Amino acid sequence: MSDFPIQLVFPVVGLVAVGAYYLNRRSAVARYDQQYSNYKAGALAQRLGLVLRAGDPEFNVFIRQANVDVQRGPKDNRPIHIEVRAEGAPQGVPLEFVYLYRVEQDTGFTTVTWRTWFDCRLTARARQPFPPFDVISRNAPLGAIAQTLALPPMPTGNPAVDSTYLVTTQEPGMAQVLGELLPSFATFQNAGVHLVGDGTTISFIMHQDKSPLLANVLYYAEQLASEVSQVARRIGG
């Protein structure tokens, strides 16, 4: 045993350490996947009062590393593509939950390029058109939220709302209505709020690693479905 080359000991120990790290990490991911099973697509659709139309019901939108394709990572001509879609009208308003995570890899002669697409939102469809608006938290916990629509700031007439949210729209009447509706979104302040009305639909937009934080928002999935539906009813008939 004393003749065993010392230079080989470190690689062997290194491989064991790396193997143990990934084993422990995968075990932790599997444990979290079960601990937060209420974020799995099938369970989440039920919590939102929706029917899963596309996607793996076992995919966890919070612990996405539990998915085998995400664990394996992208390859050239073999992207990661995860898509979830659920629909319904639990509050009498058409609702759709969409989740998209896609990563493409392109290996060049000296570089490797990754391109990532991500979208997560709960969308309600109004019965009739309305003036567009964009609402963001002024002090989101994970940094500033970027507006989606290029609209001017408009006071709501509610000082508490105006100090908490930046409301943008071209219609003063819309700002006033939002001033009445936004207090009920206080639950989501620990995640951040980004509410976008494009004239026909109202979407609450979420992100995996920045505000509004998906995990925190969808912890209150049932309330989210109710509040977004309420906005659609109020402004779109």
Higher pLDDT, 35 or 152: 152
Residues 6+ apart with CB under 8 A from 4: none
- Percent of the chain's residues with pLDDT above 70: 89
Q: Is residue 68 part of a domain?
A: yes
Complete edge-to-edge strand list for the sheet that includes strand 201-206? 51-54, 80-88, 95-107, 112-125, 201-206, 194-197, 133-137, 165-169
Position 29 in a domain: no
pLDDT at 9 over 60: no
Has residue 63 been placed in a domain? Answer: yes
Nearest to 99 by CA among 128, 70, 73: 70
Q: What is the pLDDT of residues 20-50, one digit of tens each?
A: 334 456 778 888 888 889 999 999 999 999 9
Q: Are 61 and 214 in contact (CB under 8 A)?
A: yes
Contact 123, 96 (CB under 8 A): yes
Residue 16 lies in a domain: no
Inside any domain, residue 10 = no
At residue 79, φ and ψ (nearest 5 deg) are: -75, 160
Strand partners, 115: 104
Residue 124 backbone dihedrals phi, psi, to 5 degrees: -110, 140
pTM (2 d.p.) = 0.86
Tokens representing 91 are 């509050």
pLDDT in tens, 176-196: 999 999 999 999 999 999 999
| The dihedral sign for the CA sequence 185, 41, 99, 97 | negative
Q: Which structural domain range is residue 223 located in? A: 37-236
The total domain count for the chain is: 1
**CA-CA distance, 132 to 151, in Å (whole number)?**
8
| Residue 15, in any domain of the structure | no
